[in-house]
């Protein structure tokens, strides 16, 4: 992570327990001139199931392409994460780096290269140095076992604090544990999930069910956050289930405990997604945008994202200005069904516009007080149907410009 002031929206890293069958280690590959670990290696028990959701960018990194192919096999023995270099837009040299990492890790573990999952994050357009990657891996293979906080710190780039979460579920009469670590601060506008996130559980889950559960959990979590409207070339969320808890294998939705596992995964993904928005580059306010009474859920989501991605909305909230006209603008430009004279808008619990007009004589005091807080709620009622959606974003401040203007230096 970078040496910058911690986000005012940061939350403490929780005490995350070890996950049997998932062993994290970290090392220094020295991808950048920083005095910190930047390579994470997690060894996974034989038979570990894997699922993933990956960026929909048409310019994906070689790591994304590698993971997309490996996911079809459903099993994993290792995860390798590089920080400081995304290895994206690097042609054959980038692909060669991923293949070298997978081959070296497979040789160490005695598995197939396709059992090794690789993710990288950082500057685009610079090939990942294979010599540094291999030296970092060799150091990681013999490093002491570390904890999830250290792993979360190691995968960060412009993050200002490590991000992790956990939850549990009762499956087949046994308590199974899910932990997750995630990185992300900028280039956050998911067309699935705009960051690197990794979930580890000791539950025994069939890969196909794990994939369905993760895809379903992604929709209302990672795909409902945005910092800046920019979808990364490297977005990757992977879930690994080691089976060490000893529960009867979850094979489909009718398996005992499948509903509880799905609910726990949904909860964990939501926690992780909000942590990313709380660390939005330069952010001082967490913003929840709720859209109701749209023609469909899809329409509500598109409108909510139009509001959440609007620089005018985000800067107004940064300045604590209840400029609801900018909300109207963002609704209107979304390209979704909307009728001006049915539209209502609120800040917090205060209705400021209704039926296409400002609420006559509304009290601005509670709105002003709400906007001075760190957690802001914006609500839109379209008055058209039953569609609804909630997304999360952050404000846009001078800090975002400063961080990104100096990103490569």
Q: Which residues are annotated as a binding site for substrate?
A: 157, 183, 194, 281, 404, 409
Catalytically annotated residue among 154, 177, 194, 233: 194
Of 270, 275, 169, the C-alpha closest to 219 is 270
Residue 158 tokens, joined: 């412009």
Instruction: Count CA within 13 A, CB hemisphere, residue 85.
Output: 24
Binding site listing: 157, 183, 194, 281, 404, 409
> CA angle 230-57-235, nearest 5°?
75
Separation CA 352–CA 276 (nearest Å): 30
The dihedral built from the CA positions of residue 143, 146, 148 and 151, taken in this order, carries a sign that is negative
Pull the structure tokens for residue 258: 């499948």
Nearest-angstrom CA–CA distance, 75 and 80: 15
194 is catalytic: yes
Structure tokens, 162? 């490590």
Which of 348, 354, 396 has the alpha carbon at shortest distance from 368?
Answer: 348
Residues in CB range of 86: below 8 A, 6 or more apart: 61, 120, 121, 122, 123, 124, 232, 233, 234
**Which residues are identified as catalytic?**
194
């Amino acid at each position: 992570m970078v040496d910058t002031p911690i986000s005012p929206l940061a939350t403490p890293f929780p005490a995350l327990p070890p996950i049997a069958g998932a062993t994290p280690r970290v090392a220094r590959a020295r991808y950048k001139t920083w005095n910190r670990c930047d390579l994470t290696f997690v060894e996974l028990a034989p038979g570990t199931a894997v699922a993933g959701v990956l960026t929909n960018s048409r310019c994906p990194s070689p790591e994304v392409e590698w993971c997309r192919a490996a996911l079809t096999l459903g099993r994993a023995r290792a995860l390798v994460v590089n920080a400081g270099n995304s290895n994206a837009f690097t042609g054959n040299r980038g692909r060669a780096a991923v293949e070298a990492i997978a081959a070296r890790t497979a040789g160490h573990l005695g598995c197939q290269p396709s059992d090794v999952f690789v993710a990288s994050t950082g500057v685009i357009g610079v090939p990942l140095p294979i010599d540094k990657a291999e030296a970092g891996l060799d150091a990681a293979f013999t490093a002491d076992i570390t904890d999830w906080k250290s792993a979360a710190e190691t995968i960060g780039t412009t993050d200002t604090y490590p991000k992790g979460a956990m939850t549990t579920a009762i499956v087949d009469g046994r308590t199974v544990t899910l932990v997750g670590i995630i990185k992300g601060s900028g280039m956050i506008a998911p067309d699935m999930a705009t960051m690197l996130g990794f979930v580890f559980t000791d539950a025994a889950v069939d890969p196909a069910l794990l994939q369905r559960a993760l895809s379903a959990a992604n929709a209302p979590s990672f795909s409902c956050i945005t910092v800046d409207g920019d979808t990364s070339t490297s977005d990757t969320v992977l879930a690994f289930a080691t089976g060490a808890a000893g529960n009867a294998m979850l094979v489909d939705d009718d398996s005992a405990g499948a509903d509880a596992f799905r609910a726990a995964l949904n909860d964990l993904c939501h926690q992780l997604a909000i942590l990313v928005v709380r660390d939005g580059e330069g952010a001082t306010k967490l913003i929840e945008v709720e859209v109701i009474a749209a023609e469909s859920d899809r329409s509500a989501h598109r409108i909510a994202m139009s509001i959440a991605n609007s620089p005018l909305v985000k800067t107004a909230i940064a300045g604590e200005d209840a400029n609801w006209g900018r909300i109207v603008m963002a609704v209107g430009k979304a390209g979704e069904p909307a009728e001006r004279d049915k539209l209502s808008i609120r800040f917090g619990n205060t209705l400021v516009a209704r039926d296409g007009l400002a609420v006559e004589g509304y009290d601005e005091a509670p709105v002003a007080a709400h906007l001075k807080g760190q957690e802001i709620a914006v609500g839109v009622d379209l008055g058209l149907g039953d569609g609804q959606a909630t997304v999360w974003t952050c404000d846009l401040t001078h800090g975002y410009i400063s961080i990104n203007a100096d990103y490569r230096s």
